Chain A
Amino acid sequence: MSWFIFKRLTSLIPILLGISLITFILLHLIPGDPAVAYLRASHIPPTDETVAALRVELGLNKPLYVQYFEWLGKVLQLDLGMSYVSNNSVWEEIVVHFFPTVQLTFASLIFIVVISLPLGMISAIYKGKFVDQFSRILAFVSVSMPTFWLGFLLIYFLSVKLDLFPVLGRGTLAHLVLPSLTLAFAYIGTYMRLLRASMLGNLNEPFVVYARARGLRQRLIVIRHVLKKSLLPVITGLGMSFGNMLSGAVIVETIFAWPGMGQLFVTSILNQDYPMIQGCVLFMGVIFVVCNLLVDLTYSFLDPRIRWEGEK
Chain B
Amino acid sequence: MVQNVKRKLMKHKLMMISIMIISFLTVLALFAPFLAPNDPNLIDIVQKLQGPSSQFPLGTDHLGRCILSRLIYGTRTSLGIAFLVMGLMMIISIPLGIYAGFIGGKVDYLFMRMCDILMAFPSFLLSLALVGILGPSLGNLILAMVLVQWVFYARVIRGMVLSVKEQNFVLAAKICGTPRSIIIIKHILPAIISQVVVLIFMDIGGVILAISGLSFLGLGIQPPDAEWGMMINDSKPFFRETPSLMLYPGMMIFIVVIAFNLFGEALRDALDLKKE
Chain A residues engaging chain B, CB cutoff 8 angstroms: 14-15, 18-19, 21-22, 26-27, 29-31, 128, 140-141, 143-149, 152-153, 156, 160, 243-244, 246-248, 250-251, 254, 265-266, 268-270, 272, 274, 277, 280-281, 284-285, 288-289
Contacts and interface: CB of A to CB of B under 8 A. Distances in A.
A270 B249 CA distance: 24
Interface in B241-264: 243, 246-247, 249-251, 253-254, 257-258, 261-262
B250 A18 contact: no
B258 to A, nearest CB: 4
A251 B125 CA distance: 11
Given A144-B254, A268-B132, A277-B132, 7 more contacts: A19-B117, A145-B254, A146-B254, A149-B232, A265-B129, A284-B125, A288-B122
B217 A18 contact: no
Contacts of B218: 270
B36 interface: no
A269 B219 CA distance: 9
Contacts of B269: none
Contact of B3 (A128, A149, A160, A266): A128
Contacts of B262: 140
A296 to B, nearest CB: 13
Interface in B35-61: none
Interface residues of B, number: 46
Majority secondary structure, B binding face = helix
B258 A141 contact: yes
Contacts of A128: 3, 7
A146 B134 contact: no
B33 interface: no
Contacts of A246: 122
B121 A288 contact: yes
Interface in B121-160: 121-122, 124-126, 128-135
9 contacts: A15-B116, A19-B121, A26-B130, A146-B213, A146-B253, A149-B251, A152-B232, A269-B131, A269-B219
B209 interface: yes
A15 B114 CA distance: 9
